[in-house]
Structure 1
Amino acid sequence: MFVDKAKIFVKGGDGGDGIVSYRREKYVPNGGPAGGDGGKGGDVIFRVDEGLRTLMDFRYQKHFKAQRGEKGKPKGMHGAGAEDMIVRIPPGTVVIDDDTQEIIADLTRHGQEVVVARGGRGGRGNMRFATPNNPAPEISENGEEGHERWLVLELKVMADVGLVGFPSVGKSTLLSIVSSAKPKIGAYHFTTITPNLGVVDVGDGQSFVMADLPGLIEGAHEGVGLGHEFLRHVERTRVIIHVVDMAATEERDPYEDWVKINEELVLYNPKLAERPQIIAANKMDMPEAAEHLEAFKARLAETASDREYEIVPISSLTKEGIQELLYKAAKALESVPDAPAVEEVKDVTERKVYKHEARQETTFRVYKENEGFVVESEAIESAIKRVNLNSYDAVMRFARMMRKMGVDTALRKIGAKDGDTVRIGDFAFEFFEGSDYFHE
């Protein structure tokens, strides 16, 4: 089964927690703090493997979570960072953020990598918080949570030449006689519902990969028929062979077929109009095909004067013109050396690195909710997750940080009094207008 689209969840590993510890050597009286930092969580990394051809593996495994970092250790030793999680994907995979629909990366080359979810930083141990005023702090941080997101993977077939055209014009038959591929062939529309690939030996040491793509119909750019399932693969091919039923076996006009298919390609992606295109006039062994071909050439000369198209009369049944078509395709490939890509890989994990909490400029919003109050701030919510709420010193340090930001003043202005409940993210506290500020 060919799978060319998948939705998966990725999460970087959480950072390890820092610890509170002190030196305990026999001849070191009043040993200072020696709690080490936690290790960094593992990243989730996509790596291209040219041995893969489908997204089948993602049909059965949809969640990928990297390991968390190790906790800090005594004697000032830091916890080990977790190993990154490597996820193998086939070449031609486009990675899209499911929430924003932003294209994260277009991965085409073997070994190409992109970090899709970064691991969290390790929390600091108490040796990081020692000051002259507090030489033995009972303060440590929890590890930062790893970045998480839902991703959509779309596979665009990496083929040199793509066969396009209406259903039942003979694309699958053509592929079957020029390569060892065995596509399904039938006398009904949409016999081909997934791309078929075949390696074509042109001769003289030349070869290329050809893709028989699902049949296209009018309105495909809007998703009609197989729509986008077809068009995403055309976007990747370097040369287009447009197969036209010149015998009009289904009583359609060959020229109108050609025009409609090209319109769908351009409506989906205007750059496809610039792609080299060879017209394969198929079924020339049928009655009236020669007359239709002459009419096709005449109308093409009248309307397509801005661009020249090569027309190769062929018959998949008698193999007439097949070798000439392959030679022309190989020659066209020489003018398009690189596979077209959608986007270059970029750093897209959107990881926010905050400065020391007491010094960063943080925006926040406070408002009344039912009988309590809410402090809303992405930075503050992230900071509180790292606070060890079992440590009085750590809670007081967080309270001082909030006071310096002006959060307590803002709460008093909207009516907060002693004993009122204040919610920050998933945490709730009692508010006090004293030096303690918050009590859990």
Structure 2
Amino acid sequence: MTGVLRVGLRLLLFLLALFVGAVAVWLVLFILFLFMRDLVPWLKGFRYMQFQIWSFLAVCLAALAFYLWSLMKPVFYMLTWLKRLAQGHYDEPSRSNWRGRPLSGNQLKLPYTLFREIIGQMSMLTLALQRTEKERRELDEKRKSWIAGVRHDLKTPLAYIRGYSSMIAAADQYSWSTAEIIQFGSLMEQKTIQVEQLIEDMNASYQLDGSEAPLSRESTEMARFIRQIVTDVADHPLAAQHTFAFNTAGEKCLDIDQRMIRRALHNLLWNAVIHNPAGCHIEAEVYWDQHGLTVEIRDNGTGIDAETLERLNAAEDDVLSARARLAGSGLGMVLAKDFVTRHGGTMTVHSKLQQGTRITLFFCFESRPDPSLGCWPVFYYIGNYCVGEFYLIFTFLYPAATSSGYYSLHIKDMR
């Protein structure tokens, strides 16, 4: 509303200036007429009143034409601008001066300066549309790469399932033993679980990518919570060929979104189950210090190659960015990292081929006063603040005393 008032006042002032200018021009013309009337014979045919009326009308018409031109030129310019925006051209059209010559840069001169606020808002709108269009194109590219990677992930287990199902369907041509059929079924079940895991990860990534949904935090006993997840994975028939271990130094509570962290740990543990050969030892450990809580998941399996490891540890703004760069593997780990990051934590992966993998999750503790101390922390913070203010005032009033070393106050920041 303020911008509209400014534009209206500016137009009124411009109209007033034109009127004053028109009157000044008319007076100059009349004075010239008085001096030139005796010198130019044909001017003697004009009467004073007649010249005054016609010259005043001519000057007013010229001023009105200039005023209308000053209004219509920026209006047509803004209409052209809006038309280009509607057609998908998110750039500002070039401006020209009263001679029709283009103006360089973003300078605003008459008559465009009359609508300075409106043109400024349209420039901001154009920049916002440019950013949105750029983000949309980048998102489209990421989604294409993401879909290509998911297609690769689905193609491998489906090829296993199709191959083994064809072998079982051709049992009349081959004499498969019972043990071989059981082995085929076990491998098909493993690949089916891998496909289900991928579908769930895809669903989670679409729901969470680019969103800032609030976390449903609740106080959780981390050791018991993680032990239950490890037990659930270890009890699955496909995990029977691996050994599991869980270590903890005790119990510690942390405010987390249990659904997200359960999903993250489930993905990491199942990656160790699916991508490692039989006999792999998988171990989870929970420990903490004064800074935060750490969860480690280790295995002695096949490990991860250096290129994929570097991509997993790279920082990305969203799931689609990381997924596009990992083209073909690691969606579960990318989602796990995203879930941990949403909790203010970090996830790092250390691995070497044929030497196993170690994944470290770190969650910072929130700095809160100890409830057992009651109101004493509040009193301490208030007293600490007052002492600090007193020290600042004292040093300002008596700089010589403080600089000489007679007075010294030490304030300790208790966190």
Identify whether the pair has TM-score above 0.5, normalized to the shorter chain: no
TM range (shorter): under 0.3
Per residue, is there more helix in 1 or in 2? 2
Higher relative contact order (CA 8 A, sep 6+): 1
